[in-house]
Amino acid sequence: MIVKDEKDIKGLLEAGKVAAEVLYKMASRLRPGITTGQLDRIGEEAMARYGAKSAPKVMYNFPGATCISVIPEVAHGIPGNRVIKAGDLVNIDVSIELNGYYGDNGMSIPVELEDPGALKVCEVCLKARDAVIQAAKPGLKINELGRAVETVARAHDMKIIKNLCGHGLGRSLHEDPEMILNYYSKKERGQLALGQVIALEPFISDGPEFVIEGDNDWVLVVPQNHYVAQFEHTIIVLEDQTIITTLQPE
């Protein structure tokens, strides 16, 4: 989506605020003993209080209000009876629709997890997300966003999940550009337009470079004994500033 006026910006900010509120409400309740299904219901109830809808449900009939993935699950994990345990690395991805606008954000959360390798993956991923947001400017070649992520990953001896990427959004959950790779590719074409709305979401890994399909039609996984982290924001790329619509509630 390319924003046309202040109405668009306001709508995106309202949707982003709700997406962030829901994500951090869920994160605050994440602890050993809770099931992913219970956590999802917390998110869905929070959406309802704001009059928002689950974007994955609206767009794709996803069997949950949110995506909750527990390593070795990396993305699109279906909430259910799985009990969160101490030592888990959990990713919560929340995307919502509100009054025709969309917001998308996610974060990986160590649950009483002290493994230095897992904590490093999370730390580097957060740095990569912040670096790619800082790099986003009107006119920038889209493949330079991938370079920004790749530069951070390489500096810390980390890998990138190459078959998961960012995307455009705004009036739908997935819009042009459909794929914003998290690594530099000469084949990736296009550049960011003034007013472009995009979701940036690096996936940083301690070894694997690709996810594969899991045991259902949705979930994507890596081999056991590996860690992958994801941090995601929705942004609006303007001439004099980059607006993060999904900032953490204060």
CATH number of the structural domain spanning residue 71: 3.90.230.10
In a domain, 197, yes or no: yes
Q: Determine which helix (DSSP H) or strand (DSSP E) holds 67, and give its type and residue range.
A: strand 67-70
pLDDT for residue 147: 97
**Cα–Cα dist 52/99, whole Å:** 8
In a domain, 250, yes or no: no
Residue 180 belongs to domain spanning: 6-244
Residue 68 neighbours by CB under 8 Å, 6+ apart: 36, 39, 40, 77, 78, 79, 90, 91, 92, 93
Which residue bears the tokens 């009990």?
83
Residues paired with 107 in a beta bridge: 92
In a domain, 97, yes or no: yes
Q: How far is CA 28 from CA 22, 109, 111, 112, 230, in A?
A: 10, 10, 11, 13, 18
DSSP secondary structure code for residue 87 in this structure = T
In a domain, 178, yes or no: yes
pLDDT for residue 249: 72
In a domain, 205, yes or no: yes
Structural domains in the chain (count): 1
Which residue bears the tokens 């006119």?
139
pTM of the model: 0.96
Ranges under pLDDT 50 in the chain: none
In a domain, 249, yes or no: no
At 28-59, the pLDDT tens digits run 999 999 999 999 999 999 999 999 999 999 99
In a domain, 146, yes or no: yes
Residue type, 248: Q
Q: What is the 3-state secondary structure (H, E, C) of 146-181?
A: HHHHHHHHHHCCCEECCCCCEEECCCCCCEEEEEEC
The stretches of 30-92 forming alpha helices (DSSP H) are 36-50, 55-60
In a domain, 19, yes or no: yes
